[in-house]
Amino acid sequence: MELPEYSIAEVQQQFERQAWTAVTLCEAFLQRLAEVDRAGPTLRSVLEVNPDALDIAAELDEERQQQGPRGPLHGIPVLLKDSIDTADAMMTTAGSLALEGNLAPQDAFIATKLRQAGAIFLGKTNMTEWANFRSTRSCSGWSSRGGQVRNPYVLDRNPSGSSSGSAVAVAANLCTVAIGAETDGSITRPACVNGIVGLKPTVGLVSRSGMIPVAPSQDTAGPMARTVADVATVLTVLTGYDPCDPVTQQRAGRAVPDYRSCLDPDGLRGVRLGVARDYFGNHEGTDAVMEHAMAQLEAAGAQIIDPVIFSKLPHLSEPELELLLYEFKASLNRYLTAHPRAKVRSLADVIRFNQVHATRVMPYFQQELLESAQEKGDLRQPGYLAAKAECRRLARTEGIDKAMREHDLDAIIAPTHGTPAFTIDPIVGDKKLGGCSSVAAMAGYPHITVPAGFVHGLPVGLSFFAGAYQEGNLLRYAYAFEQATQARHAPRFVATIKS
């Protein structure tokens, strides 16, 4: 069976024509996964395959025949990041051997929403272990359970993280869409460097219950796909009030019933976009792609406000790290208490496990962030409360809110990642070469990245971000840009960039 890079809508057309069934589509993806992810280029983007996927697909095919489809996700194969609970035969481990064997007692809220919509869970994706919150020099895409994920465009290049496997699997056409999760950059950065669309929603639009946490002040799941339309389709399914996640109460009346209604090819006309110049200057190739993108935005009718008085705020990382250390300890301990099949019962247990199994777990980098988090007190500590207030002040009051108000903007634009993907280096770790994810992440505001071009065959993404619950507008701007430019092309699995 041929397996083109079909969108959700195109797959549904194949179902309606009876050219495909959910079973034949899942079989084709599983075959491609075996050839491309496990053998071939050895992308290592998928940790485990759902052994029940074909049975579920057969049930959904029968239901379609008898009752018709439930909606646009009926029979669509989806991969989920390995931090999202599924009450089935698949584990949820955050890529860590310490959580090997952790079978969730119930679905995460968003997993339930996807199942109800007719999605088929094809498997769990590899990720940067503990969501890139184990060491200050971790290598994105590496986990002790799954090894190193590789960028499908150039195989010795870093896939970014922590939703590395989700991004790579979508880019390499191992699924139709995937679900990632972000605390700071973990959806948008891997989406950018793997040439796909990724949306980090407003914190509170999508429930986090049943997900391995980092920091509830910033954590959110979000869709990753090859097109903006597919991202809009999946986001519509993911949203909803969850009594187990009280922050979702804040979304009442703010979510769009169907985000596909926001997709307008003329959606950039008259829109005021502020250029965050502080995120430029890391690489001349990325900057050239951004300058061309701005010309394309103007040609599509946008008003470019350049530059915007908007700073990267060099001290942003200090209060954010403090907040993450406190919240990681508290929220992980809470998660483990609710998961009796996990062999570790606390963050302290995780640290001890890693020490005992250091040869397998820590061959390249250590766990100093876990150890620093363990030293923190509870969430009533003055240090935590001060860090949380400072994060909100810097990212919201003195950051996005101020820039939007002073320049009368509809959104802010910037290069998603400061440079094209750098080479994989497990010994030294990731290079810190810029990117615009932190301010939207700390503010808890939405952020979407869309393919904008290439540098030496490596994808470059354009970011749009704005205030809370502006997902509909951001999708409209990204869709109009995507339709005008068609910048993305499929990866070619090049081994390396020849000098």
Contact indicator for 136, 129 with CB cutoff of 8 Å:
no
| Tokens at 437, concatenated | 């994810």
CA separation for the pair 300, 371 (Å, rounded): 50
* Share in percent of the chain as helix, strand, coil (round to 5): 40, 15, 45
Given 140, 160, 186, 217, the catalytic residue: 186
Is 163 considered catalytic here?
no
Whether residue 124 lies in the annotated active site: no
Non-local (6+) Cβ contacts of 170 within 8 A are: 79, 177, 178, 194, 196, 224, 225, 226
- 465 and 474 in contact (C-beta within 8 Å)? yes
Asked if 217 contacts 319 with a C-beta cutoff of 8 angstroms, the reply is: no
Quote the strand ranges of 94-207, DSSP E.
120-125, 142-143, 147-148, 177-182, 197-200
CB-CB contact of 351 with 134 (8 Å): no
65 Cβ contact list (under 8 Å, min separation 6) = none
End-to-end CA distance of the chain: 37
164 among known catalytic residues:
no
Catalytic residue among 138, 162, 163, 437: 162
Which residues, 6 or more positions from 76, have their beta carbon under 8 angstroms from its beta carbon? 8, 11, 118, 119, 120, 176, 177
| Alpha carbons 470 and 493: distance in angstroms, whole number | 36
Q: How many C-beta atoms surround the C-beta of residue 323 within 10 A?
A: 25
Catalytically annotated residue among 81, 113, 124, 376: 81
The bridge status of strand 142-143 relative to strand 177-182 is unpaired
Judging by DSSP bridges, how do beta strands 411-415 and 458-465 pair with one another? antiparallel
| Residue closest to 33 by CA, chosen among 176, 180, 238 | 176
Which residue numbers are catalytic?
81, 162, 186
